[in-house]
Amino acid sequence: MSLIRSSELFVEHAFPIAVERVAQRSLLKRELHRHEYFEILFVEQGTLVNCFRNEEISLYPGDMLIMKPYVLHALSDTTGQDRTAYCCSFLPRAVDSGIQSLESLQTSLSPNRYFFQSLFPLGEDAVGAIRIKVDGERKDQMDTLFRQLRDETHDASERAKARVRLLFLELLLLLAHESRKDDLHTETVHLQMGDSASRYQAGIRKTLNYIHDHFSEALRYSDLVAMSGASETYFSRLFKHETGMTYQNYVNCLRIEEACALLRETGDSALDICYAVGFNDYTHFRRRFKKYAGMTPIQFRKQ
């Protein structure tokens, strides 16, 4: 049960939106898996089946499924079916750089919080996804938006990037507006937790959200263990099961990914960036960066 990292999907860490036809997904996995980002599935025509650990959900034309990060799921293989369905993957920072996760979304005072109105039910620990039914004129709008998003996402130009963000905000705004009027047919998908490890899944997800919001700060391992509700030994096992990495490697990767974005987008020195992303020793930062990126921070910026 693998975890798909955000860095695997979003080529540009600073622009985390990707829209593809389901049949053409570059990271399509048939087995149960998790991912660090939010995912929206939308069916224009045909049928799409999404499998959770203990439940299957069939999506029909006009159905949309919004899944939060770290939810175990997989799409069933329906190759050859006459189907048009889209997958929109994103991180909240695509809308507001100050909103990194569901936890920060719930406490944010940013006016951009309104765009995420339809996602608020995902804040409940037991809710893994939201199923929304759109029909009539709203479905026609969604069909057009997803087609345009898919086309523009595959264009690397600056104009296309601006267009993708505009279309994505239009999508979120439409969902937010309709959800405020209670006009959307919405139902929540609750996760069934049966095995012993599942007792701690909500705590592990909370810990992961906290890490994503605070990775540039001095994190105390003991505080994160306490947050998860598990023992220190069991937390270590669960964390690696959920992410495929040790806690320290996971945090280091987040910090290096952020350093890459800052090296591309700012004129700050590599030393300043080292401290800004949470490292307290430049030699250690440089060694970790080279292992992750295959080059030093200075070489990365020049390239």
Instruction: Examine the domain organization and report whether 144 and 279 are in the same domain.
Output: no
Q: Give the end of a domain, one of 190, 221, 238.
A: 190
In a shared domain, residues 45 and 184: yes
For 12-99, where are the E strands, in sequence order?
Answer: 17-21, 33-35, 38-45, 48-52, 56-59, 63-67, 73-75, 84-90
What are 102's two structure tokens?
């569901």
CA distances from 175 to 123, 249, 269 (A): 17, 37, 41
Cα-only R_g, the chain: 20
Give, for all 303 residues of the chain, the pLDDT tens digit. Answer: 467 878 778 765 557 899 999 888 766 666 778 888 999 999 999 999 998 877 889 999 999 999 988 888 888 765 556 789 999 999 998 898 888 787 788 788 899 999 998 898 888 877 889 999 988 888 999 999 999 999 998 887 888 888 999 999 999 999 988 776 655 677 888 765 444 445 677 788 788 888 888 888 999 999 999 988 888 888 888 888 777 788 998 899 889 988 988 898 889 999 999 999 999 999 999 999 998 888 999 999 888
Residue 177 shares a structural domain with residue 203: no
The amino acid occupying position 111 is P
Residue 152's CATH number: 2.60.120.280
Sheet holding 185-190, edge to edge: 17-21, 84-90, 38-45, 63-67, 127-133, 185-190
In contact, 70 and 242? CB cutoff 8 Å: yes
Sign of CA dihedral 17, 19, 22, 27: negative
Residues 42 and 179 in one domain: yes
How confident is the model over 251-291, as pLDDT tens digits?
998 899 889 888 988 899 999 999 999 999 999 999 999 98
User: What domain range includes position 253?
Assistant: 196-302
Round to whole Å and give the CA distance between 51 and 58. 9
> Does 44 lie in the same domain as 177?
yes
Asked if 181 and 207 sit in the same domain, the reply is no
259 and 136 together in one domain: no
CATH number of the domain residue 279 falls in? 1.10.10.60
- Same-domain status, 78 and 217: no
Indicate the number of domains in the chain. Answer: 2
Q: How many residues does the chain have?
A: 303
Q: Are residues 178 and 220 in the same domain?
A: no
Task: Calculate the dihedral angle through the C-alpha atoms of 108, 113, 118, 121, rounding to the nearest 10 degrees.
Answer: 0
Strands 33-35 and 2-4: parallel
Q: Using CA atoms, how far apart are residues 190 and 128, in angstroms rounded to an integer?
A: 6
Q: Are residues 170 and 239 in the same domain?
A: no
Where does a domain end: 143, 163, 190? 190
Shared domain for 267 and 161, answered yes or no, is no
**Other Cβ atoms closer than 10 A to 162:** 11
Which tokens belong to 153? 């996402």
pTM of the model: 0.75
Q: Which of 143, 160, 190 is the last residue of a domain?
A: 190
DSSP 23: G
| SS3 per-residue string spanning 30-48 | CCCEEECCEEEEEEEECCE
Residues 39 and 163 both lie in one domain: yes
Give the span between the Cα atoms of 291 and 168, in whole angstroms: 34
